[in-house]
Amino acid sequence: MELNELRLVTASNIIKLRTGKGLTQAELGALLNYSDKTISKWERGEAIPDAYVLTQLSELFGVSVDFILSSHDKWEKPKENEVEEVRYSVEHIVAIAVIGVLTAFLIAFVTLWLLGIVEWRLFLFAVSAAILVYMILICVFRRKRHLQYVIALFVASVFVILYFCLPKANPWQLFLVLVPAEVLVFLACNVKKHRHPHPKKRDQA
């Protein structure tokens, strides 16, 4: 099998396996730590995954590497418009949800203002709530590439709320706890599983 033919065969199998799992290119890329553009290049037959990625794909979809590299059906170039539509619809959902949260808090602020109560601390809660909604949605849609930074930002926003809302005026000591809290977030988000090769069984005499 020539290299060009192998690329097309692999592309066809990746498309079939990905769509069979109900994954978008962006979601598959997040699982493999690659961008959706790289996945798109594989599925267009412009490039082929390396041996390590092929192993990851085989484990993810429950097939052998040979299955991914073997011909099963005719390759069809994916429709770029459909791929882009799925990607942008997710971004729109996230944007609408975040802006909706901020708008709700703004309405509450204006309502209280009309009643003669100016409560600027509502904006602190608004920012924290918006970050929380964003964090939840990127987990739901498996856009976890920058998740650790979003979590760190949410933790920081909670400390800022406590700083301005606790009875004691400006308890700066809270920020002494913020530093190790942020370190814990980054350490927890970067815990990775290490694969240990199994020792080869000795041949029986």
Q: What is the pLDDT along the chain (205 residues), one digit of tens a residue?
A: 577 788 888 888 899 888 888 889 888 888 888 888 899 888 888 888 888 889 989 888 889 988 888 876 554 555 555 444 445 577 888 899 999 999 999 999 999 999 999 999 899 999 999 999 999 988 887 777 788 889 999 999 999 888 888 776 667 787 888 888 888 888 887 776 555 554 444 444 3
Residues 98 and 125 in one domain: yes
**Residue 196: inside a domain, yes or no?**
no
Quote the distance between the C-alpha of residue 45 and its chain's center.
Answer: 25
| pLDDT at residue 48, rounded to an integer | 87
Give the Cα separation of 123 and 126 in Å (integer).
Answer: 5
Give the Cα separation of 171 and 157 in Å (integer).
Answer: 15
Residues 85 and 185 in one domain: yes
For residue 153, the surrounding DSSP H or E stretch is helix 147-165
Residues 63 and 91 in one domain: no
Residues 52 and 141 in one domain: no
**Residue 138: inside a domain, yes or no?**
yes
Q: Which of 136, 18, 32, 162 is nearest to 82 (CA)?
A: 18
Going by C-beta distance under 8 Å and a sequence separation of 6 or more, which residues neighbour residue 202? Answer: none
| pLDDT at residue 192, rounded to an integer | 63
CB 68 within 8 A of CB 14: yes
| pLDDT at residue 191, rounded to an integer | 73
Q: Looking at the 3D structure of the chain, how many domains does it have?
A: 2
Residues 91 and 116 in one domain: yes
| pLDDT at residue 4, rounded to an integer | 79
- The domain that holds 58 is classified in CATH as 1.10.260.40
**Range(s) of the domain holding residue 34:** 3-69
